[in-house]
Amino acid sequence: MSSLNAFLNPIKEENAKVVASKRFVGENGKPVEWEIRALTGEEDEVIRKKCTRSVPVPGKRGQYTNETDINRYLGELAATCTVYPNLNDATLQKAYGVLGADSLLKTMLKAGEYAEYLEKVQKISGYDQTMEDLVDEAKN
């Protein structure tokens, strides 16, 4: 029989440091590392609810189904998991001419950098699927 102690004292996970883009360099000339953290199940639920809407079922009067905007979800996920840089910093948002953490992230990174960053964020949060897998799943 196992003990409840295993659940009372989980191993503390450290935040991950990643290079999101080689374009952001520090004073030493090396790329600046970004810090990302894992998302909790509760935080994930809040983001999913925020990105889900009810849509009518075609041909079924009065019936609705939930539809999740996967691109919005992934943007919110990445912004929430980003510890450094602080994407909610008003000065940083103003410098890029955007409002909102996920808009700032999408503006700061090139398309390929953003896709790679999303994969890193998903991995640290425990998702085994890549963004392509999630898009394919959403299409089916």
The reply to whether 7 falls in a domain is no
d(CA 72, CA 101): 12
Domain that holds residue 115: 13-38+70-139
**What pLDDT, on a 0 to 100 scale, did the predictor assign at position 134?**
57
The residues that bridge with 120 in the sheet, in sequence order, are none
The reply to whether 122 falls in a domain is yes
The number of helix segments (H) and strand segments (E) in the chain equals: 7, 5
The reported pTM is 0.79
d(CA 85, CA 83): 6
Number of folded domains that form the chain: 1
The model's pLDDT over 101-130, given as tens digits with 9 standing for 90+, comes to 999 999 999 999 999 999 999 998 888 755
The residues that bridge with 84 in the sheet, in sequence order, are 35
100: confidence class by pLDDT, cuts 50, 70, 90? very high
d(CA 127, CA 121): 9
CATH of the domain at 81: 3.30.2220.30
